[in-house]
Amino acid sequence: MEDRRTFLQSGLTSLGLVVFGAAEGSTEFAIKTIYQQDLPPVSLDRWQVTALELTYPPGLVSPKHLHPGFVLGYVLEGEFRLCMEGEPAVALSSGEMFYEAPGKIHMPSRSASGTSPARPLALAFGEKGKEIIKLL
């Protein structure tokens, strides 16, 4: 269990360094925790992660779906309106993260803006060789 957490923390830290890059003109290296989430009790043996960059133009709505595995997401640009079944909808801004538990129904999502797109990055973790999304 501890190996899994260490692996995920290291991987997400590395991803953060690649995605966010160093601040221009900065002379000091820094790491800042922006999100922490307990993960489901899964073994990552024979699992893989798929990184998906999604673009939601204004007015486009995603279909209702679920993920057999879990998803960690980060809003790269814009405001992303996310709604999970049984929970209130939230508008996440650029720089915010979200989590989708295995099998939790993801209600239709969209850009929270009527004029600007939303662009989240989703890291979908699932069993190797199996689908990472099921449309409902």
Span 98-126, pLDDT tens digits: 999 999 999 999 999 999 999 999 999 99
What pLDDT shows up at residue 27?
Answer: 81
- Give the dihedral of Cα atoms 35, 26, 24, 54; nearest 10 deg: -10
Q: Are the C-beta atoms of residues 73 and 120 closer than 8 Å to each other? A: yes
Average pLDDT, consecutive stretches of 10 residues, N- to C-terminus, the chain (136 residues): 55 52 68 92 93 95 95 97 96 97 96 96 96 95
Q: What is the pLDDT of residue 24?
A: 56
Q: How far is CA 23 from CA 10, 11, 32, 66, in A?
A: 20, 20, 13, 36
Q: Which domain holds residue 120?
A: 2-135
Q: Total structural domains in the chain?
A: 1
CATH of the domain at 74: 2.60.120.10
